């Protein structure tokens, strides 16, 4: 039962992590596009705190990030299979998501070319998506 509870907690932290990433980027663009007061960006501090805590709880504590970013020489066959499957799924998800974002930015009348904020969010997503897939699907490592 404890293993199931911790698996649910890990999934909640993964969702919190990616939700805070989306919220932070969205808030930045809402302030920029709708010309809200810059003071609204102070909410980014709360979002950043949630982001960092969920990053630690979802990826560092579970060792899923380390597993994805370690040398294949240090993994056994089962771990390599897990990592390769996670990278394959992550690549598919990331490709589709990037295409959607590029089309939205190309078609949307308010959007400018993709800037460093969105690019850094996508870079983070590219690195963390395989670890998220491993942490979501595998038993607690």
Scan for tokens 């809402």, then name that residue: 30
Cα gap 9→70, rounded to integer Å: 25
pLDDT value at position 35? 87
Q: What distance in Å separates the CA atoms of residue 63 and residue 80, rounded to the nearest whole number?
A: 14
**What pLDDT digit, counting tens, does each position of 62-80 carry?**
889 899 989 989 999 999 9
27: buried, middle or exposed (CB in 10 Å: 19+, 13-18, 0-12)? middle
Domain ranges of the chain: 2-137
Q: Could you tell me which residues come within 8 angstroms of residue 112 by beta carbon, excluding any fewer than 6 positions away?
A: 105
Q: Is 138 left (phi over 0), alpha (psi -120 to 50) or beta?
A: beta
The neighbour count for residue 64, using CB atoms within 10 Å, is 28
**pLDDT tens-digit readout, 18-45:** 999 999 999 998 888 888 888 888 999 9
């Amino acid at each position: 039962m404890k293993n199931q509870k911790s698996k649910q907690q890990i999934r909640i932290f993964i969702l919190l992590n990616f939700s805070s990433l989306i919220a932070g980027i969205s808030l930045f663009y809402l302030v920029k596009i709708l010309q809200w007061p810059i003071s609204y960006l102070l909410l980014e501090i709360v979002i950043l705190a949630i982001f960092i805590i969920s990053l630690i709880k979802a990826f560092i504590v579970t060792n899923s990030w380390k597993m994805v970013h370690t040398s294949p020489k240090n993994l056994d066959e089962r771990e390599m299979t897990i990592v390769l499957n996670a990278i394959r799924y992550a690549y598919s998800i990331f490709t589709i998501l990037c295409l959607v974002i590029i089309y939205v930015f190309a078609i949307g009348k308010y959007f400018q070319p993709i800037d460093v904020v969105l690019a850094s969010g996508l870079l983070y997503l590219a690195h963390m998506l395989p670890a998220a897939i491993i942490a979501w699907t595998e038993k607690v490592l």
